[in-house]
Chains A and B, each alone.
Chain A
Amino acid sequence: MFNSISNNFGAGIIQFKDVQESNYIVLNAKFTCSPQDDAYKAAEVLEITVPALTIGRSTEAGVIVSFTDRREYYGRIENYDACTVAKSWVKDANTLCIEKLSVFDEQPELIFHVQTLYCQLAQGGNVIVGKKKDLSCVSEDDFLSIRTSDSLCVVFKKWAFYHWMYDYCSTAKSNADWEAFFKNLPEDINADVPVLSATNYQHKQLGSIGMSHLEEGYFTMPASERSSGFNNTANYVFSFAFLVRDYDTTPEVEGRLHYENEMLRAGQYDAFSDVNLELIPAPSVVAFSGSMGIYKAGPVTFPAPDFPEEVPAFGAFFLAAHYHSKGLTVQLLEIQVTKTGSNTNVQVIDQSGDKNLAFKMFDTTVPTTI
C-alpha cells in the first residue's frame, strides 16, 4: 500500500493498494476531485505523482470515472449515477496518468475507481496463464442469478481478475438490498466494485454505475445502488476489475509443516485442486483444504511431488461439502498420506457411500499413524 505524493488536478492524497512485479502492476484506489477546481481545469492530462513503481512505462489501461446523480420522483429516489472508462497509463516510474474527458467538465465532483492492471510496455516474455474459476451464486431462496458462463475470476497469489454478469433477480427481492455468497471468489478480497451497464436514461453519452461490495466471499449491493433500468431487457449489467487480495505478507519460516499444490493429478482426468495442508507438530493437528470434481466412487490416489520431509505419513477423517446444487450436502472423507522412499501419495476415500468425490474441503482434525 502507498500514498500518492502529489497530483495536478486538485485531488487530495490518494491511497493505493498495490501489487508490483517486474513487468506489471495492479493498482486499486478510489478518490474524488472537482472539475471546477482551477488545477483540474488547467490540466491537459490528469497526473498523479507516486513513489517509484516497478515499471517505467505501461500499455494503456482503463479506469472508471463516475459522478453521482440521484433524483426524486414521486417519493422514490432514482439512481442515474453515470460513468465511462477513461484511458490510464504509467508515463514513467513516478507518474500515473488518467485521460481527462470533456464530458465531465460541468460536474461538481468526479469519482475515480482504479481497479486496473498496467503492463510494462514493450517487454516480451513467456506468457503466464492464470487459473480461471467459475463463480456461482448462493443466495436465500435463489433470489439472485448470475450468468455462470460469464461470471469468473482468474486467481493469482496476490490479485485476481473479476468479471461478473448479472442475470436475474426474483420479484420478491427486486427492491431489496442484495446479499449473496460467491463460490470460488477468493475470500481475501475486500473491495467496493463498480457495477456497470451501458444504458443511462439521463446521460445518453454515458453508462450507469452502482457500487457493490465484495468481502469474505460475500457480494452485497444495496437497492439504492441499482441504477434505473437495471433490470431492463438487453441492459447488460456487469463488473470488470483487477482486485488486489489481502495477501499474507508474513515471512515464510523454515521447516514449516506445510504443503501447497495448485493441482495434484491422477491420470488425465482426476485432479485434486488447490491442495493446502498444514500441521502443528505436537500433539499434531492438521488443517487441510482443497477441492475435487471427480464423479466416481474412488478411492483416488494422487502423487504429491515435493512433499516436505518433515510431514510424516498420516491418515485422518475430514468433513467436506459436496459441490452439487447449493453445495450443502456433507461428505465424510478419509485421506491417507503415504510415503514410499522419496515419493508421497495422497489417497482420498469416500466414507459416506456417495459414490463420488466432488467436494470442497476446509477442515481441521487430528492426524493419526497409518
Chain B
Amino acid sequence: MLTVNATNFGLAPSDIQIKEYRSSNLLVLDGEFIVDTSAEEYSGIRPMQLSVANLPFSKSRPGTALVTVLSEGVKYATITKVWVKDKNTVCIDKIHPYKSAGSYKVKLNTMLIPERITGEVALHQRTGHTPSVIKGEAAGLEIFTIQSDDWLILTLKATSLTFDTDSQTVEISVPDLAENASSSFPVLYNECLWIALGSKYYPATLENGTIVISKDGNADEASNTGNKFSRIVIVR
C-alpha cells in the first residue's frame, strides 16, 4: 500500500487507500479517492499532490488516472495526468470543469517510469481471451490482458452492450484471468465528442474472473454512440 503522509487539497491521508507495486524502475498505482472541490485548500493549489514515503525514483514520465463525476444525474469520466515530481511527491492534474460538481473521484490506474534507463528490451505477450457473456449481450466483445505476478492490465472493447432486462447488467466470464485480480472501474463510451464534461460510463467490477457492467440508471445510448471500452491497471 502506498504510504500517503499528506495531501495539499484537504483530503486526510487516512481516506486514501492506494495499492502499489514498485521496482527500481516502475511504479504501479491502483486506488481511488474523492476530491472535495469545495475544500478551502483545493482552490489555491495546482496541481493536486500526494506527499508519500520515498518513491523508487525522483522524476517520471507522465501517466494517466481515470476521473469520474456525477453531474445533474449523469455519470461522466475523463483522464488526467499523473507524474512523480520528486522522491516524495506524486502530482495529479485538477479537472477544472468538474469543480462546480462539488466532488469527483480520481481512480489511479497508473503506471509510471523514470527516464534514461538503458538495457535490452524484453516485451510482454498480450493474451486474447475468449469471454463468455453470462447475462445480457456484448457485441464485438474483445478482452486482452497483460499479466505479471504483481499486476495486470486489462483492455476491454465492445461495439454494443445490451443489458439483461432483470438485472440491468452485462456479466462476462473471462477464463484464464488471474483470480486475485479485482477492481471497480468505468466502462467508457462517447455519444458525442463535444460533450463538455467528458465521456459517459457504466460502472463495472471485476471479481473472480467475472466482469459485471451495470447500466446503473444511465439513459439509453444515442444512436451514433461509439464503442464501449476500458483499459485498467490492477495491482494484484
Contacts and interface: CB of A to CB of B under 8 A. Distances in A.
Nearest to B80: A321
B210 interface: no
A369 B190 CA distance: 29
A356 B62 contact: no
Contact of B193 (A218, A332, A356, A366): A356
A26 to B, nearest CB: 24
Interface string B87-122: 000010111110110000000001111111111111
B132 interface: no
A138 to B, nearest CB: 5
Contacts of B54: none
A360 B199 CA distance: 15
B225 to A, nearest CB: 8
Interface stretch (A70-78, A191-199, A274-282): A274-282
B63 A141 contact: no
Nearest to A219: B46
A177 interface: yes
A330 B193 contact: no
Nearest to B193: A324
A282 B81 CA distance: 24
B40 to A, nearest CB: 12
A364 B118 contact: no
Given A177-B43, A317-B155, A321-B78, A283 B193 contact: no
Contacts of A106: none
Interface of A: 138-142, 177, 179-181, 215-218, 220, 250, 252-258, 278-285, 287, 289, 310-312, 314-315, 317-322, 324-326, 328-332, 351-356, 362-369
B78 A329 contact: yes
A321 B116 contact: no
Given A284-B121, A330-B78, A351 B229 contact: yes
B78 A287 contact: no
A277 B124 CA distance: 17
Given A282-B122, A284-B123, A317-B144, A140 B100 contact: yes
23 contacts: A138-B97, A140-B100, A179-B46, A181-B94, A217-B93, A256-B115, A280-B117, A285-B111, A287-B62, A310-B120, A314-B123, A319-B64, A324-B194, A325-B194, A328-B195, A329-B78, A330-B188, A330-B199, A332-B157, A353-B159, A356-B193, A362-B64, A364-B113
Contacts of A326: 97, 196-198
A368 B123 contact: yes
Nearest to B160: A353
Contact of A369 (B113, B123, B199, B229): B123
A322 B193 contact: yes
Contacts of A332: 155, 157, 188, 227, 229-231
B231 A365 contact: yes
Contacts, number: 200
Counting chain B residues whose Cβ lies within 8 A of the other chain, the interface size class is 35 or more
Contacts of A252: 116
B126 interface: yes
A321 B79 contact: yes
B77 interface: yes
- Listed residue (B91, B116, B230, B233) with the most chain A CB atoms within 10 angstroms of its CB: B116
A312 B193 contact: no
Given A283-B122, A289-B62, A352-B226, A329 B110 contact: no
Contacts of A356: 193
Nearest to B112: A364
Nearest to B119: A281
A329 B79 CA distance: 8
Given A332-B157, A364-B63, A367-B124, A319 B231 contact: yes
B26 interface: yes
A234 B208 CA distance: 65
B22 interface: no
A315 B122 CA distance: 13
B124 A257 contact: no
Contacts of A142: 97
Contacts of B76: 328
- Listed residue (B60, B114, B188) with the most chain A CB atoms within 10 angstroms of its CB: B188
A364 to B, nearest CB: 4
Given A257-B119, A315-B126, 10 more contacts: A252-B116, A281-B117, A285-B111, A324-B194, A325-B194, A329-B193, A330-B79, A332-B229, A356-B193, A365-B233
B46 A216 contact: yes
B122 A179 contact: no
B122 A365 contact: no
